[in-house]
Amino acid sequence: MKYALKVRYIGKNYHGSQIQFENGKEIEKPTIQGILEKAICTVTGEKITENNKRPIKTVFSGRTDKGVNSKGQILHFKYDKPIVASRFVYSVNEILPPDISIRDLIEVDERFHAQKSAKRRYYRYEFVNRRNKDAFDGDLMRIKYDINLERMQKSLNYLLGEHDFSSFKSSGTLNPSTVCFIEKAECKKLEDDRVVIDIIGNRFLYNMVRTIVGTLLEIEGHNLTSEHMKNVLEAKDRRKAGQTVSPYGLTLLEVQY
């Protein structure tokens, strides 16, 4: 049987969502996947071997980097016994650390794949736009200069549709395909001088959202025109884009199937 889980986590204390390997051996650094698999094995009674081999393996909808949060990460795993969802969710959550939790568990069709079946990913980047810090800003990036939301939105509009996003791809991208379809790209200001940038797309390249935000801030910080984003996109050259901003403030809000 195959099951799907919705997972929420704060990524600050973990080295990304995915277990990492070096020379075929798992690197002993805490990851969301590693912590979850251990908790699932504990609840189901599956024994983890001495060399840290876990009999239950999870597949995530996509990778999130160190420091990136999730309110809607989806994963699947196989288990040959029926699971009572309410009991399972409660038991796993009691084992997990405070910054990781699961919300839902459902049995899914064997054809379901957390990554390959996904149609859209919804990311939000949040930062603070004010000169002075506040004790409750947490780890959010603080931009001290004034930003122009109208110009930012015009810049984001150039990203809508299907494009080659090579300019926003970091070198760690494993998938050679650089074409993505962006369905939504919007910015708005919330209370407490917080600015959010919402982006929905069918797929995202490694560090793509953070580099898009870095390019937006380059436009604002240097008072460039919104057409600069169009020029960067069409250049298909990472050197033309802005910096990759801090992972703190980036959240995977939802994965749609």
Q: Are 178 and 165 in contact (CB under 8 A)?
A: yes
Between CA 210 and CA 1, with CA 256 as vertex, the angle to 5 degrees is 120
What size, in residues, is the chain? 257
Please state, as a whole number, how many other Cβ atoms lie within 10 Å of the Cβ of residue 98.
7
Q: Supply φ then ψ for residue 2, to 5 degrees.
A: -120, 135
Listed residue (152, 125, 150, 153) closest to 139, CA to CA = 125
Distance between CA atoms of residues 246 and 125, nearest Å: 10
Query: Is the four-CA dihedral 227, 229, 232, 235 of positive or negative sign?
Result: negative
In a 10 Å sphere around its CB, with 0-12 CB exposed, 13-18 middle and 19+ buried, how is residue 201 labelled? buried
Listed in sequence order, the residues at least 6 apart from 242 whose beta carbon sits closer than 8 Å to its beta carbon are 211, 213, 214, 215, 216, 217, 218, 219
Active site residues per annotation: 65
Q: Is 117 left (phi over 0), alpha (psi -120 to 50) or beta?
A: alpha
